[in-house]
Structure formats: C-alpha cells, structure tokens
Amino acid sequence: MKMRSKSAKTFMALTVLITFSCLLPQGFSANYSVAYQLLDHPGGSTCYRLNVAVSESLHEYYVEKSHRLISNNDFAKFVTPYALKPLAGSLWEIYADDEDFANGVLMIVHQIPYEESKPPKYPVETITDNKGDCDLFSYVAASIMKAGGLDVVLLYYESEAHMNIGVSLSHQPHDTSKRLDYVIHGGTRFYVAECTGGNWQNGWRVGECPESLQNASVQVVTLENCEQFAPGQVSASYKALRASAISLDLSSGYIIQGSPVTLSGEISPSLGNKTITIYIKVNNLPWTALGSSTTDASGRFVYVWNVQASGISYVRASWSGDDDYAAADSPTRTLMAFSLFFVLLVVITVILAGVGTAVFFMSRHSRQEMREPRPPEIPS
C-alpha cells in the first residue's frame, strides 16, 4: 500500500509540474547596456564613447554563482578576465602604452556610482547594476587589466576595510601628480591603483594612493585562482551597437530521460561563424552552460543534447555580440524529461485502469444476465 501511495503522489506531482510549466511566460530576455567615456590619456582632449552590452543570460549566470567568501584568498574568484576581455580589447585600440591602458581602466570604474554593497558581486553584476563599492570596482578593474595582459593583484587593507589593486608596468608611471606608491611582492613592483572616486577625468591615476592608506598594512591577493573561463562575454564597441535577435526551437518538449533532443535556431541578421552558448536550468538549480555551437553561413546553429536528468529543464541560447551587434538571448523554452520509472508507472496505471474497466463492465453484464428471468420451457 505504501508503494502504491508513493507512486500515486509522484504521478500527481509530475502532472502538476507539467501543467504549471505550460503556463510560464516564454518571452524574449532583455539586455543591459551602459556607455563609458574615455580620454586618449589623463588630461587629454580626445574623448571616446565605449558602448558595452551584457546579455541577461550572462548576468543571471553570475547572479546564481556562489558568492560565498571563506577566506581573503577567495577575493580572487570575483576577478573574471575572460568575461570582460572585449572591454580590454577595445581599450588597446586607443592605447599603445600599458600605463595609459591602466589609467583607461580607472576612468571606467571611476564612472560607476559608489554605493556600499554586500555580499560581494562579480564584475558583470556591477556593470549591469551600475553601482558598487571599493571591492566591486577593484574586481572590475583587475578583470579588465588581466584580460589586457597586465600583471595585477588585489590589495586588501583589512584595518581600513578597503580594497584597491596593484599593477605591474613596463616603466615607472609618468602621469602621476602625487607621491608615487607601490608594493613589492614576489620581487615584482606593483603600482597602486585606487578604483574609487567619481572624477573620471582627473581622478586617481596609476601610482597614486590615498594618504589614509599609505602607511596601512596591506595584504596582496594574487590571481592564480581567478576565473579562467566563462560561458559568455560582454560586447564592447566605440560604435553604437545594433540590436540582434536569436531564436531557439526544440525537436520535442517531452522526452524520456536519457534520450536526445535537438536544439536549433538562428541569429538575425544572418551571421556566420558566431559562437552560441546553450544555458540550462534543471529543476530550479542555478543556470549553467550546457555547451556551445557555431553558426553556419546562414546564421543557423544546431546542438544535440542527451538529456540525463529527469524533471523540468529551462533552455535558452545566447551569443555575446561583436563590434557591430549587441548580445542577444533567445526565448526560454521548457523541456519535460520523464524517468523510465514514471513511464512504466503510467503504462501500468493505464493497463490497470483498462483491466479494471473491463472487469467492471464484464461483472455488470454478468449481474444483469443473472437478474433477467429465464423464459419458461415449452413442453414437448
């Protein structure tokens, strides 16, 4: 009896989940965009406008990642150079010197409004929120600098509850207007780069340090444990990024666990040789990257997924954009994977229901025959 009760409850629960999944909205995701001003060098007269866009799928990927800090060395996990690499590439288009490049990065973080924030956040979250504090700005700056090929560390002043970064340069900074400050770690000189401050044009430059920190004890956090890869990237360009769209279709919305399902779609306008990332969310676990595919010359892509987990999965496709187009997300699709046990349960339930129905009607027919009076026998 207990086994039957448990099976019945499982059947009812999955039935409710299927019904509920059909009612979920399937609309398009939104993208986040922001623009930063850059000078050709500190105090320069040539100004550039760098347009940055972030797909919602990439943002949600970081929102649902672990934000837990066990020790100060865990600060490094919030440095994400791969995700911000397009930003570094755009900066190298206008800067030929590593000092100017580093100051360009500081111009970016100095434009983000200051607001104390807990718990810590990843750079993509800070960019989309367009606000943060010293540690969040430091993660953004360190990510871009490391993505640009610079040797960079995090500098944590525990007694001051403050963080900035240190960066190794090919030469001593020339654009400082204050005392030159640096720390030496592992035989390398890292020049202090203060990431807070709202004056992006004439704010802190590489090699300058606030007076309150000049004699404070500092912990150097190296970045060996920073994030090495991400499922997507931000898009960055000095041109106005045009909108794009991406579609996604599933070969079936209902399958048996362990079976393959084909995901297909296309980018509009038709763009070939673009990397498409497939994101999945299984049974309300965090969004994760399932895999990637590359578009053909007509902008189409195909990905075959062998579904191993039973239950409800949400699927969407995303691409990171390029110099001309902003990132795009597909609508979210729903897939229901039934376990073999559930399928057998349904089959057995149907069979038992059919047998029970047949027995009922046969029994009813037999009772009716018994009730009907027999015709009298005619004597011969």
Residue 99 CA neighbour count, 13 Å, CB half: 15
Distance CA 347, CA 344 (A): 5
Is the pLDDT reported for residue 332 higher than 90? yes
- Look up residue 82 and give its two tokens: 């791969």
Averaged pLDDT of the chain: 88
**pLDDT band, residue 372 (cuts 50/70/90):** low
Distance CA 260, CA 262 (A): 7
Is the pLDDT reported for residue 12 higher than 50? no
Is the pLDDT reported for residue 370 higher than 80? no
List, for residues 255-295, the tens digit of each pLDDT value. Answer: 999 999 999 999 999 999 999 999 999 998 999 999 999 99
Is the pLDDT reported for residue 333 higher than 80? yes
* Mean pLDDT, rounded, for 151-165: 97
Residue 350, helix vs strand vs coil: helix
In this structure, whether the domain defined by 243-338 belongs to CATH 1.20.1740.10 is answered with no
In this structure, whether the domain defined by 31-221 belongs to CATH 1.10.10 is answered with no
Q: What is the pLDDT of residue 352?
A: 65
DSSP output for 165-220 = EEEE-SS--SS-SS---EEEETTEEEEEE----S-TTTS--TTB--GGGTTS--EE
374 vs 161 pLDDT, higher one: 161
Q: Give the rounded percent of residues in the chain with a pLDDT score beyond 70.
A: 82
Q: What is the pLDDT of residue 45?
A: 85
Sequence-distant (≥ 6) Cβ neighbours of residue 342 within 8 angstroms: 10, 11, 14, 310
List, for residues 16-57, the tens digit of each pLDDT value. Answer: 343 333 333 333 345 799 999 999 988 888 999 999 999 999
**pLDDT band, residue 138 (cuts 50/70/90):** very high
Instruction: Please choose, from the candidates 207, 213, 219, 204, the residue with its C-alpha nearest in 3D space to the C-alpha of residue 169.
Output: 207
360 vs 112 pLDDT, higher one: 112
Q: Give the rounded percent of residues in the chain with a pLDDT score beyond 90.
A: 77
Its pTM stands at 0.81
Instruction: Please choose, from the candidates 325, 220, 311, 235, the residue with its C-alpha nearest in 3D space to the C-alpha of residue 271.
Output: 325
List, for residues 76-117, the tens digit of each pLDDT value. Answer: 999 999 999 999 999 999 999 999 999 999 999 999 999 999
> By mean pLDDT, which of 56-65, 71-80, 152-161, 351-360 is the weakest?
351-360
User: In the chain, where are the structural domains located?
Assistant: 31-221, 243-338
* Mean pLDDT, rounded, for 300-313: 95
Query: How many CB atoms sit inside 10 A of residue 253's CB?
Result: 13
Check: CB of residue 129 under 8 Å from CB of residue 136: no
- Look up residue 186 and give its two tokens: 């592992």
Q: What is the pLDDT of residue 348?
A: 64
Q: What is the pLDDT of residue 2?
A: 43
Is the pLDDT reported for residue 170 higher than 50? yes
